[in-house]
Each structure stands twice: as structure tokens, then as C-alpha cells.
Chain A
Amino acid sequence: MSNIIEVKNLHKSYIVDEKEIPVLNGIDFAIPEGQFIAIMGPSGSGKSTLLYSLGLLDRPTSGHYFLNGKETSKLDDKKLAKVRNEEIGFIFQSFNLLRRTSIYDNVRVPLVYSNVPESKHKEMVIKALESVGLDAKLYKKQPSQLSGGEQQRVAIARAIINNPTIILADEPTGNLDSKSGAMVMKVLQDLNKKGHTIILVTHETSTSEHADRIIHLLDGVIDSDKKVANRRYVEKEKYIK
């Protein structure tokens, strides 16, 4: 298997009031295609920063990031937007659905920024909703009419609608009760089974054990990087609608 992601000596610092605040201090790892990775670590250790850097939302301060074998620092803003649109799907802790906008229009946002013809949107939205275990009839509703678990699954449908190779999830179960959280994990595991590479940031050990590899961050460096010995699977029975 080839490495879909490879980072070498990655540094990232923020500048606040002209002072440099280092957050990532030399990260090295490689992720083969199709892996399910959990990133753990205490608050402020740089998990989200690492995830957003992998998602090309910002450029690293120094170091190398190869995506599909290609050095990303050479890409201009427009190309980065295209890669984010086509190769990467984002899932956030707070769902980040657009208010007062129908589920349909929420899920198809990535299509709007790619060149998928309008006529195909409906079919694709329905397919995406169904693949995260949602009733396609929901598409006319507004986010505020759905439960948290349903909203997060809408967000996952949005993340996968362009069929990205990589899914980046920042504490996707953080705002959910355990049952809804289990459903979301089940969806992610199903997507992983279909071949999507998944990188998941989480606080909870139990959640991280759904992955097949756990990277532990501490003060912006990798503290440990282990395979999961007893990987957990969300059983079919738990996946209740």
C-alpha cells in the first residue's frame, strides 16, 4: 500500500501580537491509504492544528507535507481549494451546518464549488444521505429540525458527497450522547471499510479504539504511535435508527 499522507518535520506556529507561538514542533508520520487513525492528546497539544494542516486549511510554518506523493507547499490557493474540495472531507465537533438552509443545500455545498452539473445534485445528495443511514426525505428540512446525531450525519454526508479519499474528523462525537456517538462511529467505520482514509481527533480512549492506529500528541510532538491491539467495532445491533 502506498502512503496517501506523509509529513516530515512539520512545524506550525501562530503569530499572536508579533510573538511566535509554536504549536507543532516537528511531526513525522506516514499514513497508508485506507487506514483509520485516531489522534489523541491533552487539550492544547495541537491536535486540531495538525488536522487542519493535513486538511490544507493553512500552510505549515516549515517541514514537508506530501499528499498522494505530491509536495503541497508548491500549490497555490486555488489548487489548495480544489484539493480540499475533491480529496478531503471535513467533519467538525459542532457540525457546522448552515443555518436557515435546507439539508439539501447544506449537503451539496461541496458540489457547488466543483463542476458537478446541477442536474446530478439531487441524486448525489440522496445517495450521500442514505449512506450515512439517514432518510432521504429529510432533505427539505432545516438543520434546526434535526437531532444532534442526525445533524452530524448530515455533516458526514456533506463531507463524503464528492467521494474524497481522506476524511478528517475533529471530535465528531464530542457534542453527542453515547448512542448518537456510536452511530457516527459506525458510519465512519463503514466509510473506512469502503476505502476512505480516516483521521479522527478524539479525547475519549473508547472512541479512539475504533481506529486501527492511535497517534498520541504531547506539546506539539508525537508522544506515541501504536497499532490498536483490540480494535472495537460498532455492532449492527447498536446501530439503531
Chain B
Amino acid sequence: MKITNTIRISLAGLKANKLRSALTILGIVIGITSIILVVSIGNGAQGLILGEIQSMGSRTLTVEPGKPSGGLSDSMMTFFQQSLKENDLESLKKKANVPHLQSIIPIVFTSDNINFGNEVLSATILGSSEKIFDFYKIIPAEGSLFTEDDVKGKTDNCVIGSKIKEKLFGNIDPVGQKIRVKNKTLRIVGVLPEKGGGFSFNYNSAIMAPYTTIKDYVLSQKYYNEFIVEVDQDKYIDQTVQDIQITLRNNHNITDPEKDDFNVQTQKDLMKTVGTVTTVMTLFLALVAAISLLVGGVGIMNVMFISVTERTKEIGLRKALGATNSDILNQFLFEAIYLTLAGGLLGILFGSLFSYVASIGLSQALSSNWAFSFPISAALMGIGVSAFIGVVFGIYPAYSASKKNPIEALRYE
């Protein structure tokens, strides 16, 4: 029998039970919709994060305490957390050690309460050199920023994020006001601009001050939490990573790189890590969504069995009129495939629609440019998977239909 006839007969069979057909594919629709949604949002998030990392410049390296791969006990971890010391900073700054280091921003940070009068607020307290403002391209919204002289002179000048201003000061002009952190007093010289959403450092709820002040005066700690290093030229990135490693190993008396108590990350590393993490997350969520496909498939199988039983007499009749076993098998298999394909196409439609709406919503919520991209690969996969489910869950009912004895089928009431 010609394929067009099989298609026509199968479609007629579905049309005869419109409501049931529609309800049957619901599981598939929901499954494909959620997969498309998850993959699309996952891709969007990944694009956004990677974009931000890239915007920080490819010549940026970060040096952090701790073993590159982690996996240490807590006490060891704490010890390693304090591995970046003053002499490390001095050594790294020396041209003889790291010739292509253009600049280095030492970072200390913590989270603590800050007080203004009787008001208390929890905030991120970040100490750095004034170069951080260039790094994040920050222009003050009010007042000024702290300067190189502030860093050198360990002054108590600090700047605050927009959220802090709003919550702690309300209508009062914060510039010139004094706040207390860990019982030390800092003087506000400026307010940072409001930062849109995103995944890099959000300084809206932070106060920033010279690292010298924060490290020695406020926190009295002997170590740094991070160094941000700028390499002078792209081609020296790898060499600079090595120079930093050699310098720090030398300072820390480390001979076996396996025992490093610090790690140097390039933007490439970071992007790779972020890429892997978001991909794994996306795949995991898509897998969860795929479970509903499985449930949908079982539903289709169930309905196909009901349909085969209901139409036993039709099967007997068709065989009496010349249908072969494979004609009958194809008829029911195609019915199942149409159902799942229709479900898949609807799922792609809804999934794309929802992720488009979500991308608009997220763009506004994060006030960033969340790009919507139609997840072509997920859509193609959705079509493939739904057809596959049709075959997998349709073949057994269709086979049982084709094997019916025509005489018994004709006698069936």
C-alpha cells in the first residue's frame, strides 16, 4: 500500500477522536515545551555570563588562594585561604619576576554589618587599589572616588553602592557622612553608580575603600583574598601565568605544582568553567524535563492500546478486504507518530514563545541585554525525540494490532 494512503487512514483515525488525541499529546507538549524553555534560558544565561567575562578584557588574570581543583579539608582550606601575603604582592610587582604585568589590583573583602547612627545594614566590604574603578569602568554618581594617595596614605575615605545609600541614608546626602565598620570609622567621599544586573561583582550593596585601610585598619588581616592582574599584551598571557606561578611557588617554598596553595585563572579558564557549569546545569534540567516526555510516551502507548482494542473489528475488516499485517502495523504506528510529532511541534511553538517572553522579562529584571535565541538544536532534537517516542511507544500496540487474527477480530463485539 502506498504511504500516502497509510497517512490518510491514520489521520482519519485521529480525527475521529479529536479530544482524546489532543489530551494524549499533552504530556509530549509539556515535555518538549519545558526542554526548549530550559535550553533556551540556559543558553541565554551562558551567553550573558560569558559576555560579561569577556567585557572585563581578555588580558585579565585572577590569582586566588587555595588549590586549583579544591577538594581539601576545611582546616587546610582556611590555611590556604590565607596564602597570599604582602611579600607576594611585592614580588609580583617586580618587573624581574613578572615582566609583562601591567598592573595588579590587590583585593581584600568580607561581609559585615555597617552602622550609620542607629541604622545597621549588612554589606560587602571590599578593599582594593583605585585601579579597580578603571577595571569596572566606574564613574561616581555622587562625590568622588578614592585615589592612589588614599591607598598610599591608608585614609578612611570610602565609596558606597547605590543600595546602601538608599537603605542607610534615605534622603540624607551620604557624601561626607561617617559610617562604622567593625567599630572603625570610614568617611564617605562618593556614591557608586547603580549597576545593572549580571553576574560579575555587584557593587550596589558594597562599600569600597583602599585595600591598605581595609586590610590593616579595619580587618587587621595579613593576607589578600585575590589579586587581579592585567597583562600588557595578549601574547604574554600564558607566559605571565607561568611567571606568577614560579614567583609564588618560590615565595611559598613549593616545588611540586600539585601542592600549589594558590591558583591563577585566565579569562579563558573562567569562560571554560562557566561554560561547563551552565551546560551541565542546562543538560540536567533538560533531563528532568525529559521525564515528562517519558510519561507522555507511556500515555500515548496506553491510548494506542485502547484504540487498537476499540477498533478490533475495523482491523478484522481491513484484513478481510486485503490489508496485510504491515499495512495494519503502519496505520497504527503512524497514528502514534503523528500524535507525538504534533505534540513535539506544539511544544516547540510554546517553548519558543515562553522563552521569548522569559527573555524579555529577564532583560528587564536584570536590566541587561538578555538575548533570545531560538534554540534550533533543541528544536530539532525535540522533533527527533518526539518522533522517536512515537515509534518506541507506538510499535508495540501497532504490532499487537497487526497480529490480530482476522476471524476473531471480526467476531469481536
Contacts and interface: CB of A to CB of B under 8 A. Distances in A.
A86 B320 CA distance: 11
A101 B324 CA distance: 21
B327 interface: yes
Given A77-B325, A84-B319, A112 B410 contact: no
B1 A58 contact: no
Interface majority SS (helix, strand, loop, mixed), chain B: helix
Nearest to A57: B406
Contacts of B406: 52, 57-58
A96 B313 contact: yes
Contacts of A84: 319-322
Contacts of A90: 320-321
Contacts of B319: 57, 81, 84
Nearest to A115: B2
B252 interface: no
B314 A114 contact: no
Nearest to B318: A109
A85 B321 contact: yes
A92 B2 CA distance: 27
Interface in B282-333: 313-314, 317-325, 327
B313 to A, nearest CB: 7
B120 interface: no
Interface string B11-26: 0100010000000000
Contacts of A220: none
A30 interface: no
Interface string A24-53: 000000000000000000000000010010
A162 B405 CA distance: 23
B324 A78 contact: yes
Interface residues of A, number: 29
B5 interface: yes
Interface of A: 49, 52, 55, 57-58, 77-78, 81-82, 84-86, 90, 92, 96, 98-101, 105, 109-110, 112-115, 118, 158, 162
Given A101-B12, A109-B317, 14 more contacts: A52-B406, A57-B320, A57-B410, A78-B324, A81-B325, A82-B322, A84-B319, A92-B410, A96-B313, A109-B321, A112-B9, A113-B322, A113-B323, A113-B327
30 contacts: A55-B320, A57-B320, A57-B407, A57-B410, A58-B405, A58-B406, A77-B324, A78-B324, A81-B322, A81-B327, A84-B319, A84-B320, A85-B322, A86-B322, A90-B320, A92-B410, A96-B317, A98-B314, A99-B16, A100-B16, A105-B12, A109-B321, A110-B321, A110-B322, A112-B1, A112-B5, A112-B9, A113-B318, A113-B327, A162-B322
